[in-house]
Amino acid sequence: DQQVKQNSPSLSVQEGRISILNCDYTNSMFDYFLWYKKYPAEGPTFLISISSIKDKNEDGRFTVFLNKSAKHLSLHIVPSQPGDSAVYFCAASARTDKLIFGTGTRLQVFP
C-alpha cells in the first residue's frame, strides 16, 4: 500500500517557465513533508520541507504548498533552470524517525 504517491513519472518544462511537481498521500497522521532532489549517480539531496501547521513554505525559487484536506502537496520551481533537471522525491513522516518516499518525478528543463 503506497502511502505517498507521485503519479507523474516525468515532466518536461521549458527554461524560465514554472515547474509544478505533485504528491499525494493517504496517511492523515503525516505531519512533516519533504522534497529531495536526486541527480544521476548521486544520493538524494534535501531541497525544502513543510510542517503540517503551515500551508506554504518558500526558499528562493522553490515553494512547497500543502493542502491537508486534499492530502496533497506540490513543489513549484520558478523560474525553472536546466540545472534543475533531476528526479524529485516527495517524502513524509508521522512524528517518527522514518520517512516514507514517493516513487519520484523526473523533471527535464529544456532551453
Partner 1 sequence: DAMVIQNPRYQVTQFGKPVTLSCSQTLNHNVMYWYQQKSSQAPKLLFHYYDKDFNNEADTPDNFQSRRPNTSFCFLDIRSPGLGDAAMYLCATRERNQPQHFGDGTRLSIL
Interaction site with partner 1 (CB under 8 A): 2, 4, 9, 34, 36, 41-46, 49, 89, 97-104
CB of 93 to partner 1, least distance (A): 10
C-beta neighbour count of 101 within 10 angstroms: 16
Cα distances from 12 to residues 60, 73, 98, in angstroms, run: 21, 19, 31
Q: Which is nearer to partner 1, 12 or 45 (CB)?
A: 45
CB of 75 to partner 1, least distance (A): 15
Residue type, 8: S
Cα–chain-centroid distance for residue 7? 12
Per DSSP, 18 falls in state -
Q: Which is nearer to partner 1, 42 or 111 (CB)?
A: 42
Q: Which is nearer to partner 1, 15 or 57 (CB)?
A: 57
CB of 41 to partner 1, least distance (A): 7
**Rounded Cα distance, 6 and 12, in Å:** 15
